[in-house]
Chain A
């Protein structure tokens, strides 16, 4: 059993705790947050484990009885906390984005390599049950060569006051880095080719990323973060040369009949994905191998996310180069 320290007890911490609790491969030893109220609340929910103020004091306390750190803090602190954990010889799973820039992410990745610890970026879409099936079909050659990827993900409006860190691009990295890296990583994973063109359009609580590839493949990804009610919506289509895969909430909607109109009962696919992600992280540690989502994967996604941000800000298309991008 891999023992975990959860650093950061914000809004999604209860979901992470639930996923770890459900895992057969890892367990939570301690939680940390600079705010004692959410830290205490999350610690109580996790079978009354102890809670501390921050990772540094935990490591200095001599009571650091954990193998790995889950970095679940605001985006602008990811790299610093990951480096702190790595330097202390701990494996690290970092919420996306791994850092606020590709350069910073590369620094974290190189530090993990030098320290010989496992580093994984939480690109959770790779663990969505439907996406796993699509990728398996691709890997088995059933779909042939990928030609077109289309995905849409709609989220509820960011909670909290307008002054929260997610509303501050300097702290979140903006929508391209905060959410867009999910879709970019998904495209890199499924199409398995670095794009040549990135064209992004942004609107209020909206992001569209369009990727072009030298092979002729293409990808369009849409993200909306302003849905007022309910859960999210996720939909993906992958067109290959021999077939196609369609993964989406709409077609898989379960209906509940209780008189009157049938009601939709959506399953929480994210919970399954987060648990699978923790399982993969823990198994990689136990088996002393690289996790399936590496630091290099996170660097690659961030490079493209930076190009997407530049494209949406300028209105121009970003042409990717070996070292970065040019705006055309």
Chain B
């Protein structure tokens, strides 16, 4: 079958972030044709969707089935609240659409299994949005796969955000950030990135996890019993030892947006990536303390990810992070958090 000159994209909700649909805005192989969502979505979600539609210059049309029938899109981009990811992604896959979905894949492994089953039954491509196209990560993958450091034996990733998430523990100040932004733990939401790095660089999955997690900084995380920092030890395929440190570590904790670090130890060498992500530091007189000190260059990373996705669509090949990969990441996070609760290492569940 001939690939279309431009794949039509329907954005399904932009409740949490708009960067995923915006990555398709000016790509020559995609045309964003509309924004849609279920009419039953919360009022604030409809407001977010309307803003995204305005940014994209397309209509906002509540009613997903009707929007699909009207626009006949090839691709759905799902950026709803995490709790609705599975519902919208399965709905899109069942309609024969390829799916690009924001993280986390879904709140539960069962939800992920439903997505895997739907996309594989429909024979559509699924991309879980990730940061694997960063140049340093790509280079690490190349070095490992070229055998330049021998057989991989251990991998570690630090992945920290230094943004605040509401007021600090033991503070009496009122919360200003809406509840909708603070509903999940940081490993749950952000754990995809370090785990996707491991998957991308080594091509290996985790088998068992030991985790520790705590609400160390932020009052609302503590009140909700969710983590803002976490450490995870991983027993991986082929005897590789993995670990990650991740979390939201508070604004004063890093001069840039946060720390990214990757270590890989091989049988004949080792590699280190240490960078505050691809950003440009800009320092000027009169900079307010809460001004961003860095200008992100994520657009380039996102562009490469979209380029890779269009190749997957054209060739029928795998995306950078398939539904099965995403499902395994959620299973790994689930095992780590279960371990943190029980004090014992836990097996990472495999698909039945």
A241 within 8 A of B: yes
Stretch from B98-106, B111-119, B140-148, B240-248 forming part of the interface with A: B240-248
In angstroms, Cα B203 to Cα A127, docked, is 39
- Name the B residues within 8 Å of A25 (CB-CB): none
In terms of DSSP, what is the predominant structure of the interface of chain B? strand
Q: Which residues of the other chain, B, contact A91 by a CB distance below 8 angstroms?
A: none
Residues of A202-227 whose CB lies within 8 A of B: 202-206, 208, 210, 212, 216-220, 222, 224, 226-227
Q: Chain A residues near B169 (CB, 8 Å)?
A: 241
Bound CA span A147–B343, Å: 17
Please state if B274 and A218 are interface contacts (CB–CB under 8 Å): no
Asked if residues A317 and B345 are in contact (CB atoms below 8 Å), the reply is yes
Q: Are the CB atoms of A239 and B247 closer together than 8 Å?
A: yes
- CB neighbours (8 Å) of B154 from chain A are 203, 206, 208, 222, 224
A281-328 CB contacts (< 8 Å) to partner B = 315-317, 319, 328
The reply to whether B345 and A241 contact each other, CB–CB distance below 8 Å, is no
Q: Are A210 and B212 in contact (CB under 8 A)?
A: yes
- Among B158, B229, B239, B265, which residue has its beta carbon within 8 angstroms of that of A218? B229
Whether a CB of chain A sits under 8 angstroms from the CB of B231 is: yes
A222 touches B214 (CB 8 A): no
The reply to whether the CB of A197 lies closer than 8 angstroms to some CB of chain B is yes
**Which of B229, B233, B268: most chain A Cβ within 10 A?**
B233
A203 and B153 contacting across the interface, CB-CB below 8 Å: yes
Q: How many A-B residue pairs have CB under 8 A?
A: 132
- Is the beta-carbon distance between A220 and B243 smaller than 8 angstroms? yes
CB contacts (< 8 Å) of A237 on chain B: these are: 158, 245, 259, 261
Interface segment, one of A3-11, A99-107, A128-136, A244-252: A244-252
Could you say which of B154, B217, B233, B268 has the most chain A C-beta atoms within 10 Å of its C-beta?
B154
| Minimum distance in angstroms from B199 CB to a CB of chain A | 19
A129–B32 Cα distance when bound, in Å, is 55
Given contacts A199-B233, A220-B245, A226 and B267 within 8 Å (CB-CB): yes
Select from chain B the residue with minimum beta-carbon distance to A248: B274
Given A150-B158, A210-B243, residue A317 in contact with residue B210 (CB < 8 A): yes
Residues from chain B with Cβ under 8 Å of A148 in the complex: 216, 229, 231, 245, 247
Which of B231, B259, B270 has a CB less than 8 Å from the CB of A224? Answer: B270
Determine which of B241, B263, B343 lies in contact with A197 in the assembled complex, contact meaning CB atoms within 8 Å: B343
In the bound complex, how far is the Cα of B229 from the Cα of A312, in angstroms?
24
Chain A interfacial residues counted at CB < 8 A: 47
Q: List the one stretch of B70-78, B249-257, B279-287, B311-319 in contact with chain A.
A: B249-257
Q: Is the CB of B245 within 8 A of A250?
A: no
| From B252, B267, B268, residue with most partner A Cβ within 10 Å | B252
Interface assignment of B235: CB less than 8 Å from any CB of chain A: yes
B215 at the A/B interface (Cβ < 8 Å)? yes
A250 touches B254 (CB 8 A): no
Contact A239 B252, beta carbon cutoff 8 Å: no
For chain B, the count of residues having a C-beta within 8 Å of the partner chain is 43
Residues of chain A within 8 A (CB-CB) of B212 are: 197, 210, 212, 218
Question: Within the assembled complex, what's the spacing in Å between the Cα atoms of A150 and B244?
Answer: 9
Q: B345 touching A199 by the CB < 8 A rule?
A: yes
Is B243 a contact of A204 with CB atoms below 8 Å? no
**Chain B residue nearest in CB terms to A327:** B344
B214 to chain A, nearest CB (A): 3
Interface of A is mostly: strand
The interface bits of chain B over 88-110 (1 if a CB of A lies within 8 angstroms of the residue's CB, else 0) are 00000000000000000000000
Among A220, A226, A243, A317, contact of B343 (Cβ-Cβ < 8 Å): A317
Q: A147-B214, A210-B212, A317-B210 are in contact. Are A250 and B272 (CB under 8 A)?
A: yes
Least CB distance, B211 to chain A, in whole angstroms: 9
A319 in contact with B343 given A210-B243, A218-B212 (CB within 8 Å): yes
Tell me if A210 and B269 are in contact (CB < 8 A): no
In the complex formed, the residue of B with least CB distance to A150 is B245
The chain B residue with its CB closest to the CB of A242 is B252
User: How far in angstroms is the closest Cβ of chain B from A46?
Assistant: 35
CB atoms of A204 and B231 under 8 A apart = no
Q: In the complex, how many angstroms separate the beta carbon of A244 from the nearest chain B beta carbon?
A: 4
On whether the beta carbons of A222 and B343 are closer than 8 Å, the reply is: no
Residues 135 to 158 of chain A near chain B (Cβ within 8 Å): 145, 147-148, 150, 152, 154
- Decide if B235 touches A246 in the complex (CB within 8 Å): no
**Residue of chain A at shortest CB distance from B244:** A220
Q: Given contacts A147-B229, A210-B243, A250-B274, are A243 and B253 in contact (CB under 8 A)?
A: yes
Q: Which residues on the A side are within 8 Å of B272 (C-beta)?
A: 233, 235, 250
Query: With A197-B343, A212-B212, A212-B343 given, is the CB distance from A220 to B231 under 8 Å?
Result: yes
- What 0/1 pattern do residues 89 to 114 of A give for CB contact below 8 A with B? 00000000000000000000000000
A244, B229: Cβ atoms closer than 8 Å: no
State whether the Cβ of B23 lies closer than 8 Å to any Cβ in chain A: no
Q: Report the bound CA distance from A219 to B232 in whole Å.
A: 10
Closest chain B residue to A319, Cβ basis: B343
In contact, B254 and A244 (Cβ under 8 angstroms): yes
Give the complex CA separation of A210 and B294 in angstroms: 33
Residues of A contacting B245 in the complex (Cβ-Cβ under 8 angstroms): 148, 150, 220, 237
Give the chain B neighbours of A317 by CB distance below 8 A. Answer: 210, 343-345
Proximity string of chain B (195-239) to chain A, C-beta cutoff 8 Å, 1 when within and 0 when not? 000000000000000101111110000000000011101010001
Query: What are 14 pairs between A and B in contact, CB < 8 Å?
Result: A148-B247, A199-B210, A201-B233, A220-B243, A224-B154, A224-B265, A235-B272, A239-B216, A241-B216, A242-B250, A243-B253, A244-B254, A244-B259, A316-B345
Other than the given A210-B243, A244-B254, 17 more pairs (CB < 8 A) read: A147-B217, A150-B158, A196-B343, A203-B153, A203-B241, A208-B233, A212-B343, A217-B214, A218-B212, A218-B213, A218-B231, A220-B245, A224-B154, A227-B269, A228-B269, A244-B249, A328-B343
* Interface residues in chain B, defined as those with a beta carbon under 8 Å from any beta carbon in chain A: 153-154, 156, 158, 160, 168-169, 210, 212-217, 229-231, 233, 235, 239-241, 243, 245, 247, 249-250, 252-254, 259, 261, 263, 265, 267-270, 272, 274, 343-345
The 6 closest A-B pairs by CB, nearest first: A216-B214, A147-B216, A218-B212, A244-B253, A199-B210, A218-B231
